[in-house]
């Protein structure tokens, strides 16, 4: 019997089938073992969506200009981005207890359904924003003018959690 006999070919096919099954079993176990830590990430809470909160200090005498720009430009863009599903929601807060003259006055929070949405929003939202302003140059000019109205104090990411 040579290396290409019928028995030899059947043995080789059986070994190949066993190796394929073993490989699939290994991949299944690997996938399951990776899913378990993701499921049990924290015993204290379940993770939810992600907030990007930006805190602004409105420059003296610029309160009306800030809110006019927000109403006429930012709110329509946020509404359009929300309608496209890029953000889930947005909120605006005012600071009632300032600790120092340059403390934040207004905070704007954008709610993203998951971390991956943060990576995708820049290009997509820029298109929506440019459409609102009429051109990319007009959008950039408006962004530059905002620097005369307010300063960014800080911008933070916060992961919403639901305590268990």
Q: What is the pLDDT of residues 123-133, one digit of tens each?
A: 788 899 999 99
> Three-class SS of residue 86?
coil
| Spans of the chain, pLDDT less than 50 | 36
Q: What is the pLDDT of residue 40?
A: 55
Q: What is the pLDDT of residue 162?
A: 93
Q: Write out the H or E segment, with its range, that includes residue 51.
A: strand 45-58
Scanning the structure block, which residue is given the tokens 């104090």? 153
Q: What's the chain's average pLDDT?
A: 85
- Cα distances from 136 to residues 12, 63, 85, 133, in angstroms, run 64, 26, 22, 7
Q: What is the pLDDT of residue 13?
A: 64
- What spatial distance separates the first Cα and last Cα of the chain, rounded to whole Å? 68
Reading the block at residue 47, the tokens are 């993770």
Q: What is the pLDDT of residue 57?
A: 97
Q: What is the pLDDT of residue 106?
A: 98
- Cα distances from 87 to residues 55, 79, 107, 114, 116, in angstroms, run 18, 9, 17, 9, 11
Alpha carbons 131 and 134: distance in angstroms, whole number: 5
Alpha carbons 91 and 108: distance in angstroms, whole number: 6
Task: Answer yes or no: are the C-beta atoms of 106 and 152 closer than 8 Å.
Answer: no
Alpha carbons 44 and 41: distance in angstroms, whole number: 9
Q: What is the pLDDT of residue 120?
A: 79
Q: What is the pLDDT of residue 71?
A: 97
Q: What is the pLDDT of residue 17?
A: 73
Alpha carbons 78 and 90: distance in angstroms, whole number: 7
Alpha carbons 107 and 28: distance in angstroms, whole number: 46
> Three-class SS of residue 94?
strand
pTM: 0.71
């Amino acid at each position: 019997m040579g290396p290409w006999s019928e028995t030899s070919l059947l043995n080789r096919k059986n070994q190949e089938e066993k190796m394929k099954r073993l490989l699939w079993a290994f991949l299944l176990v690997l996938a399951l073992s990776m899913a378990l830590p993701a499921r049990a990430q924290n015993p204290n809470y379940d993770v939810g969506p992600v907030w990007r909160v930006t805190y602004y200090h409105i420059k003296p005498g610029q309160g009306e200009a800030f809110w006019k720009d927000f109403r006429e430009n930012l709110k329509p863009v946020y509404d359009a981005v929300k309608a496209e599903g890029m953000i889930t929601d947005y909120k605006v807060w005012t600071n009632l207890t300032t600790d120092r003259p340059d403390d934040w006055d207004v905070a704007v929070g954008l709610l993203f359904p998951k971390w991956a949405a943060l990576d995708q929003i820049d290009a997509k939202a820029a298109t929506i924003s440019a459409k609102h302003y009429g051109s990319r140059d007009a959008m950039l000019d408006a962004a530059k003018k905002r620097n005369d109205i307010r300063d960014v104090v800080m911008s933070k990411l916060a992961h919403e959690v639901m305590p268990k």
